[in-house]
Amino acid sequence: MMKALVYTGPNEMKIMDQPYPSLEANEAIIKIESVGICGSDMHAFHGHDPRRKPGLVLGHEFSGTIEDLSSSLFSKGQRVTGNPLITCGICEYCRQGRNNLCENRTMVGMTRPGAFAQYMSIPASSLLAIPESLSMDAAALTEPAATAVHAINLSMRALHRPIQECRVLILGGGAIGMLSTLLLRHYGVYDVTVVEVNPLRRQAISQHVKCTIINPIEEKIVENAYEFVMDCVGSAVTRNSAMVAVRPGGVMMHVGLQDWSSEIDMRKLTLAEITLLGTYTYSTVDLQATVKLLEQHAFGDLSWVEKRSLDDGPEAFDDLHAGKTASAKVLLKPF
């Protein structure tokens, strides 16, 4: 048996004993060293994700060491992170190198037990080795950071001028918004504005990132002012705000998925030639690139990341729900 943090019902997480993972063919058992709480985990916690049902161990942002494996791809004791998307490798998208769109994908922490546990099983082909110079806590940020990398890479292909010349608006100062802002600064983008309602988050952003910060409750977002807008929240309000803020000919990147549907100004989208992009996670190449970016400290010193024990997981979820934590990312430590 092992200890795990289990989603037991809407707004309820419990530390429970769970069976130790069985070792299947071509898979590995990972001793989890660090695992992040994702916005999609919070979505499930609130009971808003029908794909994640009570009784499930959530968690897909992880780092750890290989405890056991039935594959020649890696070795026991090797330090790894991984792609939580379990892809088939044979569909059209996988063959194109866009395995984030795999037609047959499943996912750690959704269709199989996740990383909010002392141990987790995963196909060995989904793992990525991490260098000794990269801490386990930093490596656990590979997955959310790769989401930012993938979204910004897609956006740069659509922009009409180099991104360094653009005025950029980031809606949401959570993990993806924070990591995106840090990456943009690393890329040499200096005119970045972040919109965040939580005062604790605003304080953390001002402490760790050089950018302009807006409280949308008190300050109106300027219309038609930004060549590039990222919606890292995905609510009806932020989608509308993004469409208002983007300049004619600009790019609006939609990342967050707080609300499943809403209306946007299709007239402006058409008449102002706005490019509206959606993004889903990352490819394996994005994850590999992100490991290198983390090793190069492209996302700063990561001192804004909060660490708690796995035993404190239920309280961490409650604090994130109530907006009581300044950190955009909480990492849980099972050992």
pLDDT on residue 258: 86
Is 183 contained in some domain? yes
In this prediction, residues 268-277 reach a mean pLDDT of 97
> Does residue 89 sit in the same domain as residue 156?
no
* Cα 278 to Cα 234: distance, rounded to the nearest angstrom: 11
What is the rounded average pLDDT of the residues 70-95? 96
Quick one: 134 and 201 in the same domain? no
Give the mean pLDDT of 136-164: 98
What is the separation of C-alpha 238 from the centre of its chain, rounded to a whole number of angstroms? 18
One-letter amino acid identity for 189?
A: V
User: What separation in angstroms does the CA of 215 have from each of 202, 220, 259?
Assistant: 8, 8, 21
Confidence at residue 257, expressed as pLDDT on a 0 to 100 scale: 86
Which helix (H) or strand (E) segment holds residue 318: the answer is: helix 313-322
Of the candidates 211, 228, 96, 97, the one whose C-alpha atom is nearest the C-alpha of residue 156 is 228
The per-residue pLDDT for 262 is 78
Give the type of residue at 334: P
Let me know whether 120 and 159 are in one domain: no
| Residues 232 and 271 reside in one and the same domain | yes
Residue 248 burial by Cβ neighbours in a 10 Å radius (0-12, 13-18, 19+): exposed
SS (H, E, C) 136-150: HHHHCCHHHHHHHHH
Task: Report the first-to-last Cα separation within the chain, whole angstroms.
Answer: 15
Asked whether residue 297 is domain-assigned, the answer is no
What percent of the chain is modeled with pLDDT above 70?
A: 100
239 shares its domain with 154: yes
Pick the closest to residue 171 from 226, 210, 100 (CA basis): 226
pLDDT tens profile 18-34: 999 999 999 999 999 99
| Pair 50, 149 in one domain | no
Averaged pLDDT of the chain: 96
Instruction: Report the C-alpha gap between 207 and 270 in whole angstroms.
Output: 39
Q: Strand (E) positions, the chain?
A: 2-9, 12-18, 27-36, 56-57, 61-69, 79-82, 85-86, 106-107, 119-123, 127-129, 168-171, 192-195, 212-214, 226-231, 246-254, 275-278, 306-309, 330-333
Band the pLDDT of 270: cuts 50, 70, 90: very high
Mean pLDDT of 154-163: 97
What's the CATH code of the domain at 200?
3.40.50.720
Helix (H, G, I), strand (E, B) or coil at 24: coil
Q: How many residues does the chain have?
A: 335
What percentage of the chain has pLDDT greater than the value 90?
96
Q: Is the pLDDT of residue 261 over 90?
A: no
The whole-number average pLDDT for the span 311-334 is 95
Question: How confident is residue 139, by pLDDT bands cut at 50, 70 and 90?
Answer: very high
Q: Is the pLDDT of residue 187 over 80?
A: yes
Q: How many structural domains comprise the chain?
A: 2
The 3-state DSSP class for residue 213 equals strand
* Cα 251 from Cα 273, distance rounded (Å): 9
Which two structure tokens, joined as six digits, stand for 177? 């918004």
Model pLDDT, residue 149: 98
**Same-domain pairing of 93 and 180:** no
pLDDT per residue as tens digits for the range 238-259 = 999 999 999 999 999 999 988 8
Whether 90 and 128 share a structural domain: yes
Tokens for 232, please give them: 């890292």
- Do 83 and 154 have their domain in common? no
Question: What domain range includes position 221?
Answer: 145-278
Q: Domain boundary at 278, 296, 321, which?
A: 278
Residue 279, pLDDT > 80, answer yes
Per-residue pLDDT of 207-238, as tens digits, reads 999 999 999 999 999 999 999 999 999 999 99
Q: Is residue 174 domain-shared with residue 157, that is, in the same domain?
A: yes
